[in-house]
Chain A
Amino acid sequence: MYNETVMEHFTNPRNVGEIEGADGIGEVGSPQCGDIMKIYLKIEDNIIKDIRFKTFGCASAIASSSVMTEMVKGKTVEEALKLTNKDVVEKLGGLPAPKIHCSVLAEDAIRKAVEDYRQKQKVKNRG
């Protein structure tokens, strides 16, 4: 059902956890659908220094979260925003068709976290 890369990320997910005082937080999905992804960003000089996630969902949702965090860590905010669900699927070596929405969730999560970061920055600059 899942390839080795997906299973490997599901079994040993990278960057699990939370960041206290995170610069940006993104939560997407809904419990009704059986998927919730929450990610935390630590950003310094416009670069994603640290990223952590927690996911309620199936193996592909967990693997998509894990691989996405790896892909954006160390990147600039702009670079992170360019990440698409296709990139996530590619990096995982493919997902079964009904599971593609998990990769979309990963894309949405990083976007939402960056949005939250920018919002917080605005407030900070104003203050």
Chain B
Amino acid sequence: MTKRVYVDNSATTPMHPQVLEEMLPYFTERFGNPSSIHSFGREAKQAMDRARDRVAKSLGAGSDEIYFTGSGTEADNWALKGTAYANRDGGNHIITSKVEHHAVLHTCQYLERYGFDVTYLDVDEYGMVNPEDLKKAIKDSTILISIMFANNEIGTIQQVEEIGKIAKGKGIYFHTDAVQAMGNTAIDVERQNIDLLSISAHKIRGPKGVGALYIKKGVKIDNLIHGGAQERKKRSGTENIASVVGLGRAAQLASDNIEGHVRKMTLLRDRLIDGIRERIEHVRLNGHPTQRLPNNINFSFDFIEGEALLLSLDMVGIAASSGSACTSGSLDPSHVLLATGLCHETAHGSLRISLGDINTEEDIDYILEQLPPIVERLRKLSPLFKQCEGGKVHV
């Protein structure tokens, strides 16, 4: 069988065996409904409480500020719609950025249809929001600032603390999507002045289908899901106990092991970045050179298209992703890469490699061995390559 190397950890991660082990009893013998008062219910309630404590601790939050959701996307939707509608009397202006995840961007577009005014901040060539631009964008009617902690495609880590300070100084709520940041960079909602923060379990070796929203005590927010008063009357629906238990354990593991994880990821990442630059010409590292997730590598390879690259890598067992339109199901390449000023054809030729705990130095060396001949083959097929070699400016 061909060697298989999974380097798409920003898409999802394999569940940690300790997470699975802790979840299993909650599918079978400990099946109680935490709303029930009998011993079965109390057992489930205790498991929920423990998971909540663990998530809270990993974020520097209070346990009563953690609300479980069905995904990171739901947490983003809730944060935006919930605060927008609940604070409408204070204004209708929301500030976000052009590089947000679609869970935030599409929610903002939805809110625009209902009378909200949204400013989408530009980013620099590295995908970074300039806090000065944020200051200038604030109006009397601004009620919410939503800027992601770290970007899912190019790994750029925003100046969250600075943004939080600005928001706090103006008395505006600050939400951040920390789905990719969690476990890969230190999060402390208190120190970073964060009012709302979204996380997802499956990005940190937990199960899929569960996330959480941190809501700072006192934040005015409407419910997104109405019903039976679960989650302290804020998010209804019978709790997904096993998954919540999994999220709790995954969050605990992620924050307990963060130093070792970051050290290992950084070493592997830099080995790969340096190796690609040494071996392949006409490449560009997308994202910030230093302020980036320790597990994110994003390169554009001139003259070739990302989907062809991904398929070729897949044929030799390497699983990665791309910002190419062909992989997104739309006609346009990644909005993130375009926002950093990349032209369309360069954005089409992007490759994201996202590392995880399971990756090794051998994996990196295998990629470095397989990638150059693939790029070379596709370039030989490309009409754009020769035009460049001939000294002409390529289209």
Interface residues of A (CB under 8 A from B): 2, 7, 10-11, 13, 16, 18, 27, 31-38, 54-59, 61-62, 98-99
Asked if residues B380 and A59 are in contact (CB atoms below 8 Å), the reply is no
**Residue contact B315 to A55, C-beta cutoff 8 Å:** no
A56 adjacent to B304 (CB under 8 Å): yes
Check A16–B307 contact: CB distance below 8 A. Answer: no
Complex: how many Å from CA A83 to CA B197?
56
Proximity string of chain B (317-351) to chain A, C-beta cutoff 8 Å, 1 when within and 0 when not: 00000001110010101000000000111001000
Extra contacts besides A54-B383, A56-B303, A62-B308 (7): CB < 8 Å: A7-B311, A31-B348, A34-B333, A36-B382, A36-B395, A54-B386, A59-B311
Chain A residue numbers with a CB within 8 Å of B386 are 18, 54
> Cα distance A99–B327 when bound, in Å?
11
Task: Tell which of B315, B331, B344, B395 touches A11, judged by Cβ atoms closer than 8 Å.
Answer: B315
With contact pairs A31-B344, A56-B303 given, residues A36 and B308 touching in the complex (Cβ less than 8 Å): no
Residue contact A98 to B303, C-beta cutoff 8 Å:
no
User: Complex Cα distance A34/B306, Å?
Assistant: 9
Contacts of B381 in A (CB 8 A): 13, 16, 54-56, 62
- The interface residues of chain B lying within 8 Å CB-to-CB of A36 are 382-384, 395
Bound-complex Cα distance A56 to B302 (A): 10
Q: How far is the CA of A112 from the CA of B58 in the complex (A)?
A: 61
- Residue among A7, A13, A55 with most chain B CB within 10 A: A55
B305 at the interface (CB under 8 A from A): yes
Interface residues of B (CB under 8 A from A): 303-308, 311, 315, 324-326, 329, 331, 333, 343-345, 348, 380-384, 386, 395
Q: CA A58 – CA B395 in complex, angstroms?
A: 18
> Can you list 7 A-B contacts (CB < 8 A)?
A11-B315, A32-B345, A34-B324, A34-B333, A35-B305, A37-B383, A61-B305
Chain B hits for A18, CB < 8 A: 386
Consensus secondary structure, chain A interface: mixed
A59 touches B308 (CB 8 A): yes
A44 to chain B, nearest CB (A): 24
* Chain B proximity of A104: nearest CB distance (Å): 14
User: Sorted from nearest, which 4 A-B pairs have the closest CB atoms?
Assistant: A31-B345, A58-B307, A34-B348, A54-B383
Q: Is the CB of A56 within 8 A of B382?
A: yes
A98 and B328 CA atoms in complex are apart in Å by 11
Residues of B contacting A61 in the complex (Cβ-Cβ under 8 angstroms): 305
Residues from chain A with a CB closer than 8 A to the CB of B331 are: 33
Please tell me which one of the listed residues A11, A38, A58, A99 contacts residue B383 in the complex, with CB atoms under 8 A apart. A38
Task: Choose one: A31, A55, A57, A98; the contact of B329 (CB below 8 Å).
Answer: A98
| Cα–Cα, bound, A58→B381 (Å) | 11
> Quick one: given A13-B381, A58-B308, A59-B307, are A31 and B395 in contact (CB under 8 Å)?
yes
